[in-house]
Amino acid sequence: MQTPIHDFLVNYAQSGTVRAHMPGGKGLVYPLDITEINGADELYESSGIIRESERNAAWLFGAAEACYSCGGATLAIQAMLAAACAVTGKHTIAAGRYSHKSLINSAVLLGLNVTWIYPDRFLGADISPEAVEKAIDGDTAAVFVNSVDYLGGQSDIAAISAVCKKHGVLLLADNAHGAYKVFTGDHPLVLGADMTADSAHKTLPAITGAAYLHLADSRYHAAAKAAMSLFGSSSPSYLMLDSLDLCNAYIADKRDSALEAAERVRALKSELAGVGIPLRESDDMRLTIDAAAMGYTGEELGQLIRERGAECEMCAGRYCVMLFSVVQPESDFAAVSRILRDIPKISPVNVREIPAIMPEKRLSARDAYFSRKTRVTVSEAAGHICAGISSPCPPCVPLVMPGEVIDSKAAEILAHYGVPEIEITVD
């Protein structure tokens, strides 16, 4: 696999050229850090080395086109939603309720009308094809789903795709946590998604913030590039672009190594389950430990794990999540096994299970967000209309959306998640 961006950057760094251009570091600390100079191509109108590298990525993922993002999957999500509206002329999206806040940010910026599709359990990605079909109507531009959620739950992309194709609507997949699926054969593109946002940095060897937007049809390319220019920085990071270019080479050359990492995660799960460590079913790069069944809250178990030399992706409520990547050192799996075996299991504790709440919608997300508003305590917010985007991180999923009424149950759940204040509209 050729690495056109990386090769250009290395050659430029070694050329001795006087850098009478941005950035201000002048290559002294980061030799490959440049701007869009002659020969370096332009990210949003790529026709040279970036375009060549993006085509490499598209080929590897089985896409018609790929667009690089230096703004993470967030920018890719904004762009694919904007592109879906542009190519369909519609502004209604049917979306899984427990989506990343970048979806609701996009709804505010684009003026989207969102029809929420509720899963069976709180914070789940696994919405049913039947629920998707009920949410689609003549105004629906696209269905938006999470491929993998923060706890490792997964959507049935193939079945949902069949529903979307039946009704002639686009399927957009937030695959931020599932970019590794390029190796395992169940990437959303393979299963029928029209556009996917893949965070390369979460499970592939790329710099934080580097992501792909993959398109199943070349007809979406111009709209997607235009949207990325609209939302993205006019000074994209060549360090991120370099890491995506090198990530392509990894994907092309290291398939066996990546599959071994997935197999090690599966083996670790089997081993831990065999010695009584309670686990929640999760995807191929995640270990989701039921802390409550071990006798702890997620926060307590996370601290015990930290004291023994490992840091989790998330520790909250009932669960601890450990996220691995395709380049995870083999020794890490033995270390995790040893750490979890070392923690004593005590009497299970009751951790409150949060119910799915379905707040009443009074305003559009855009109208609520840009309304006159004030910040109040969560207890004072009950009965008022939410005007801000408050999402504990992780998992960065808003509990109440702008434009929705914060009822007493919603206020209680916000407080439970440690949200002290929230913005409400002012009448």
pLDDT digits (tens, 9 = 90+) for 319-369: 999 999 999 999 999 999 999 999 999 999 998 777 778 899 999 999 999
For position 395, what pLDDT does the model report? 79
pLDDT at 313 over 90: yes
pLDDT at 168 over 70: yes
pLDDT at 277 over 90: yes
Instruction: Report pLDDT digits (tens) over 26-71.
Output: 999 999 999 999 999 999 999 999 999 999 999 999 999 999 999 9
| Residue 293 contacts residue 320 (beta carbons within 8 Å) | no
- Give the separation between CA 257 and CA 350, rounded to whole angstroms: 40
Helices 330-342 and 255-274: crossing angle, nearest 10°? 10
Q: Which amino acid is at 384?
A: H
Q: Tell me the fold of 365-425.
A: Ornithine Decarboxylase; Chain A, domain 4 (3.90.100)
For position 120, what pLDDT does the model report? 78
Q: Tell me the fold of 255-342.
A: Aspartate Aminotransferase, domain 1 (3.90.1150)
For position 189, what pLDDT does the model report? 97
- Give the separation between CA 251 and CA 182, rounded to whole angstroms: 8
pLDDT at 396 over 70: yes
For position 252, what pLDDT does the model report? 96
- Give the separation between CA 34 and CA 24, rounded to whole angstroms: 9
| pLDDT, mean over the chain | 94
C-alpha dihedral sign at 400, 406, 411, 412: negative
* Domain chopping of the chain, boundaries: 4-253, 255-342, 365-425
pLDDT at 121 over 90: no
Encoded tokens for 103 = 């979806």
Yes or no: domain 4-253 corresponds to CATH 3.90.1150.30: no
For position 307, what pLDDT does the model report? 98
Q: Look up the pTM and report it.
A: 0.95
Classified as helix, coil or strand, 287 is: strand
Judge whether 255-342 and 365-425 match in fold: no
Confidence of residue 393 (pLDDT cuts 50, 70, 90): low
pLDDT at 8 over 70: yes
Instruction: Give the burial class of 401: count Cβ atoms within 10 A of its Cβ; 0-12 exposed, 13-18 middle, 19 or more buried.
Output: buried
Confidence of residue 414 (pLDDT cuts 50, 70, 90): confident
Mean pLDDT over 169-190 rounds to 96
For position 394, what pLDDT does the model report? 67
